[in-house]
């Protein structure tokens, strides 16, 4: 594993405005969080509901901005980039999978997977189709490539979402409760896929999860509590 981090969180703090009429205080969610994320590692983010796990993931994926702090990618603070540069960074470098698949209804599995490439790469359409077919095949959906999203089962839809997140070969895959809507069998399939794809493709994988089986498959487990990372448990003692 590389010595220098892929992404570093430096003193990241996040507050939200309270929507409650009685409260004028901002709600502090993260306070001075420092954390290094290395190439290829797998991390589970765990903690009680409402502690800021999704918020942290959104900041790492630059979907949300902190009130304070830097997010370093190489020597660059990603929050110094303008909106276009940031969108390009996300498209090229980051894959997202959420609890709900967010596939476009009315479009086929492969059309859904092709979208990030059509928007963000200079590849020919032929190459984009080939890459999209290959990743759909890899997630076990060779027989569903030309089926419409809404005709697929929940497990299949989530595997299309995973293929879409990976088709640009991102450096980092961010998954927020990726199997939260799936039954046990489908969850186990997606959990195995995540681990296998990390090993095959080498992308960093960060999963927010309440699922202890999924968390146990990750190399590192990070617990958030009281606006801080309070515990980092690694299976590989030579990291960090």
Ligand X SMILES: Nc1ncnc2c1ncn2[C@@H]1O[C@H](COP(=O)(O)OP(=O)(O)OP(=O)(O)O)[C@@H](O)[C@H]1O
* 204 touches ligand X by CB under 6 A: no
Choices 49-57, 124-132, 165-173, 211-219; region in contact with ligand X by CB under 6 A:
49-57
Q: Least distance to ligand X from the beta carbon of 137, Å?
A: 32
> Given the complex with Mg ion, which of 28 and 111 has the nearer CB atom?
28
Task: Write the interaction track for ligand X spanning residues 51-70; mark x where CB under 6 A is met and - where it is not.
Answer: xxxxx---------------
Q: Closer to ligand X at the Cβ: 63 or 201?
A: 63
The CA distances from residue 91 to 58, 62, 84, 179, 209, in Å, are: 14, 11, 11, 23, 23
Residue closer to Mg ion (CB basis): 51 or 132: 51
Closest approach, Cβ 53 to ligand X, in A, equals 4
Token reading at 54: 């999704």
Handedness of CA 232, 67, 171, 207 (dihedral sign): positive
Q: Measured between alpha carbons, how far is 195 from 159 in angstroms, rounded to an integer?
A: 13
- Residue span 44-63 as binding mask against Mg ion, x where in contact by CB under 5 A, dash where not: ----------x---------
Q: Does residue 75 interact with ligand X by CB under 6 A?
A: no
CB of 53 or CB of 144, closer to ligand X: 53
Task: Between 16 and 146, name the residue whose CB sits nearer to ligand X.
Answer: 16
Window 15 to 34, contacts with ligand X (CB under 6 A)? 16, 29
Q: Which two tokens stand for residue 197?
A: 């794809």
Q: Are 136 and 214 in contact (CB under 8 A)?
A: no
Smallest distance, ligand X to C-beta of residue 10, A: 19
Burial class of residue 212, CB neighbours in 10 A (0-12, 13-18, 19+): exposed
Q: Which helix (H) or strand (E) holds 16?
A: strand 7-16
Opening angle at CA 82, ends 41 and 55, nearest 5: 45
Residue 72: HSE in the Cβ half-sphere, 13 Å Cα cutoff: 14
CB of 211 to ligand X, least distance (A): 11
Q: Which residues bind ligand X (CB under 6 A)?
A: 16, 29, 47, 49-55
Q: Which residues bind Mg ion (CB under 5 A)?
A: 54
């Amino acid at each position: 594993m590389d010595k220098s981090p892929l992404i570093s969180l430096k003193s990241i703090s996040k507050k939200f405005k309270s929507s409650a009429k009685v409260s004028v205080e901002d709600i502090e969610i993260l306070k001075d969080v420092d954390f290094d994320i290395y190439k290829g590692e797998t991390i589970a983010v765990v903690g009680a509901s409402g502690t800021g796990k999704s918020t942290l993931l959104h900041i790492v994926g630059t979907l949300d901005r902190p009130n304070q702090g830097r997010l370093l990618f190489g020597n660059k603070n990603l929050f110094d980039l303008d909106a276009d540069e940031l969108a390009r960074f996300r498209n090229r470098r980051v894959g997202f999978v959420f609890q709900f698949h967010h596939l476009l209804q009315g479009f086929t599995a492969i059309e859904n997977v092709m979208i990030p490439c059509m928007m963000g790469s200079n590849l020919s359409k032929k190459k984009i189709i080939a890459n999209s077919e290959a990743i759909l095949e890899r997630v076990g959906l060779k027989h569903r490539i030309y089926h419409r999203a809404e005709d697929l089962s929940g497990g299949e839809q989530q595997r299309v979402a995973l293929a879409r997140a990976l088709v640009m070969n991102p450096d980092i895959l961010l998954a927020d409760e990726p199997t939260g809507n799936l039954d046990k069998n489908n969850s186990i399939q997606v959990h195995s896929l995540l681990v296998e794809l990390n090993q095959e493709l080498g992308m960093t994988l960060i999963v927010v999860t309440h699922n202890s089986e999924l968390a146990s498959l990750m190399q590192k487990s990070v617990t958030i509590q009281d606006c801080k990372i309070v515990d980092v448990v690694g299976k590989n003692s030579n990291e960090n």
